[in-house]
Chain A
């Protein structure tokens, strides 16, 4: 079946550090891939998405590239800020199960000033 695996947290970084959160997926064909972010006390917001191989999603300085050959969708940011502290979820949707999104377990990110 379809699944998403993302790196365990928590991840703690200093402000302005480089961020990578790894995400790999298992699915047939070409799923759509997403990163959602959950700030403290809030719901999930879509951070970025990619719908086909080699697509790069980007938003708020975050980027992720859809890599079909490695079935990966790693999240990166060149210089993190304290305000980026949140839980990040990698997710996929697939036409075979279009009614739902399959989430990874989430990675908690904390940024020190």
Chain B
């Protein structure tokens, strides 16, 4: 089954304690992204990657890091989490290839609800 998986689904942590949220896709997609969802703001892109070892900032990258060492994985790292990073996080993948539809339709993971106290 084609899917994007994220772990953990729920996480409560304290300010300053480093954490990593994993994301994996099995569709051989080139593009992967992280979004955060906050009430009234919709989804905003944090970071994206267009292929292995190619990453770039999205709209709200401050306080986050990413890496793309393998095509299928795109972990999100919070080196020193703060309460304003309490949010619902989504990983997504897509492909520009015509064989994959060519519409850049994004496939989303189930979400990770993070609370930083």
Contacts and interface: CB of A to CB of B under 8 A. Distances in A.
Contacts of B41: 105
B42 A101 contact: no
Interface residues of A, number: 21
A100 B105 contact: no
- Secondary structure at the B interface, as helix, strand, loop or mixed, is strand
A43 B105 contact: no
Given A43-B90, A46-B105, A100 B48 contact: yes
Nearest to B108: A44
Which of B48, B92, B96, B103 has most chain A Cβ within 10 Å? Answer: B103
B106 interface: yes
A100 B109 contact: no
Interface of A: 32, 34, 36, 42-46, 49, 51, 89, 93, 95, 98-101, 103-106
